[in-house]
Amino acid sequence: MRLGAGRLRRHSGRRARLADPCRTCLLLGLVLLAGLGADVARASDPRPQAAHAASDPPPAHGSEPAAEQRPSLFAGDFGNILFTLLVFFLLLALLGRTAWRPLLNTLQARDRAIRDSIERARQERLEAEKLLQQYQVQLDQARKEASEIVEEGRRDAEVVRRRIQEEARQDANAMIERAKREIQLARDAAITELYLRAAELAVQEAANVVAKELTPDDHRRLVGESLERIRGAGPAVAVGAK
């Protein structure tokens, strides 16, 4: 914008300098007209010349003749004066039509083109600034959305992590409880088996001792009673083992 304004001022200065010769010629023409009018007035009035001749003393004998009067720049016939002025103004009009006017028109057209270019550049700059603002708003919105997505993903990951930890803890507790139950069942079964074997051995040893005095029915009864006592004593022994 500053460069365009500087170029516009330079072209305006050139146009003003080209217009200066026209004004100079017009002023020169006015000066010529004023001078010619004064000379014509003096030439047409004989009284000042006669008075001037009467007031001058006669030249002395033997002295040098008086210096001749210097001719005026505007002295001459009135018709020649009019012809000169006519030629001058015709030449001025011809130059104005053939040289200065086309040049001024060209400069004016260039001036308009520069102004139009500056205006287009200004409009394009405004549009670019508007687009930049829109892109900035969109970029800020995208950044905000990205931050929200990242934050939501972080929250989801935390929820998943906690759920996995809770599930793992529950699974571990379930496995521990199941293992405890299996261990308890295995221990109970082992204790029951141990007592059964001990009861059988005790019965066999007792039978060997009193085999000659016991009948088969007594033997079966004694075995059943022993088993009942062992079964009743098994849980109590297991509780004491814990």
Render pLDDT for 194-211 as a digit per residue (tens, 0 to 9).
888 887 877 776 766 666
Higher pLDDT, 104 or 33: 104
Is the four-CA dihedral 152, 154, 156, 159 of positive or negative sign? negative
pTM for this model (two decimals) = 0.34
Higher pLDDT, 240 or 180: 180
Decide if 59 is inside a domain.
no
Mean pLDDT of 67-83: 61
Decide if 203 is inside a domain.
yes
Residue 127 pLDDT grade (very low, low, confident, very high; cuts 50, 70, 90): very high
Decide if 206 is inside a domain.
yes
Decide if 29 is inside a domain.
no
pLDDT for 117 equals 94
pLDDT for 7 equals 52
b/e per residue, 124-156, with b = 16+ CB within 10 A? eeeeeeeeeeeeeeeeeeeeeeeeeeeeeeeee
Higher pLDDT, 56 or 196: 196
Mean pLDDT of 217-240: 66
Higher pLDDT, 96 or 107: 107
Residue 2 pLDDT grade (very low, low, confident, very high; cuts 50, 70, 90): very low
Decide if 130 is inside a domain.
no
Per the structure, the count of domains in the chain is 1
Decide if 72 is inside a domain.
no
Give the Cβ contact number of residue 159 at 10 Å.
Answer: 10
Decide if 223 is inside a domain.
yes
What is the extent of the structural domain holding 201? 184-241
Dist CA 192 CA 173 (whole Å): 28
- Give the CA angle between residues 193, 194, 200 to the nearest 5°: 90
All residues at 6 or more sequence positions from 118 whose CB lies less than 8 Å from its CB, including other chains? 1, 4, 5, 8
Decide if 201 is inside a domain.
yes
pLDDT for 1 equals 45
